[in-house]
Amino acid sequence: MEVKTHRRASRTFLGRPLLIRDDAEAVVELETCEEMVVDDHGLIHGGFTFGIADYAAMLAVNHPHVVLAAAEVRFLAPVRVGDVMRARAEVVEREGRRREVAVEVSVGSEKVLAGTLTCYVLRGHVLDRRKAG
């Protein structure tokens, strides 16, 4: 299992890869922590739930120049501090450099996010496309 993209991704905030099958699927796990909490009830900010889904999608494609272009997701349940989220991403459609990736994030048996992310495999790094100045 070789990580070819997002190699410096924080395991604390984006998760730990458990499975990677290039251009096919990935599974990522993330234990939530106090730094993700937004209120006195221990609610985790939805950005972290989306973040693990996005990271799993990137790993499912697993190309050094994969980027996220669009996302359609539904948040289905809240996540609490101490919960362990598991994201599963599967490439469900390939057309040229475009990949449609189905994602689900769960805490135990409860789905907390589901959706589809559109990714593109670029010819080079996305930041190399910017013009100086």
Residues 6+ apart with CB under 8 A from 28: 14, 15, 16, 17, 18, 52, 55, 56, 59, 86, 87, 89
Instruction: Report the pLDDT averaged over residues 45-54.
Output: 98
Write down the mean pLDDT value for the chain: 95
Instruction: Report the pLDDT averaged over residues 40-54.
Output: 98
pTM: 0.94
Q: Which domains does the chain have, with CATH numbers?
A: 16-129 (3.10.129.10)
Summarize the chain as % helix, strand, coil (round to 5): 15, 45, 35
pLDDT above 80 (res 133): no
